[in-house]
Amino acid sequence: MKQKTIDWLRETVPGKPWKEVYKLYQETFPDELRKLSYIKTVCYKNGITNGLNGQFKKNRVPWNKGMKGWYAPGSERTWFQKGQSSPNERTIGSEYDSAGYLLVKIKNEGSRYDKWRPKHILVWEKANGPVPEGHVVIFLDGNHKNFNLDNLACIPRGIHAILNRSQLRSDNADITKVRITQAELKRAIKEATRHD
């Protein structure tokens, strides 16, 4: 870019939004076909800034001051009434797939994580009680749709990490069980040798 143009940018850019600068640039230099991104790069390399960061200046009044509670006329027809539920609200017991895991709605109140629980954990807990702290329930054959109790195992998070890190998972449940034992043994050896 020519020095004359850079000097023009030095004078013009401060205090103006980039779109306005670009419009003025096109009017002033109609024969120079440059994109706004190029002009911004030239300004950046030459230490030219518009000084605008999108923040309100001190004592500047926002456009919506005093409009609390304002709404477009007619929009009140679509407001929820007290006690009314959303038409797409799912009932307790509903299921949906989230990233390959089936979730079951267990209650209507609370956050999303309070309302929905993974189905495989619910199946395991129904037979065995709550999942112990620091443990996870896994699918032994890797099939996230196989909720057979024989296909679910509750293992410590540390063993789970070893299975993932060492790629010991298998689509055969029996092989995965053996590899869990292998991971537990590996962990026990590591613990025993740490104290030597």
What pLDDT is recorded for position 81? 77
Rounded CA separation 130/117 (Å): 13
Question: What are the tens digits of pLDDT across the range 44-75?
Answer: 999 999 888 777 778 888 777 887 777 888 88
103, two tokens: 């979730």
Q: What residue spans define the domains of the chain?
A: 3-45, 123-194
184, two tokens: 């537990």
Rounded CA separation 161/169 (Å): 11
What pLDDT is recorded for position 22? 92
Going residue by residue through the chain, which has 196 residues, state the pLDDT in tens, using 9 for 90 and above: 788 888 999 999 998 889 999 999 999 988 888 899 999 999 999 999 988 877 777 888 877 788 777 788 888 888 877 777 776 778 888 888 888 889 999 888 888 788 889 999 999 999 999 999 999 999 988 888 999 989 998 999 988 888 888 887 888 888 888 888 888 888 888 888 876 5
Rounded CA separation 88/80 (Å): 13
> Which of 161, 118, 158, 120 is closest to 139 using CA atoms?
120
Question: Tell me, what DSSP letter sits at residue 133?
Answer: T
DSSP reduced 3-state for 16: coil
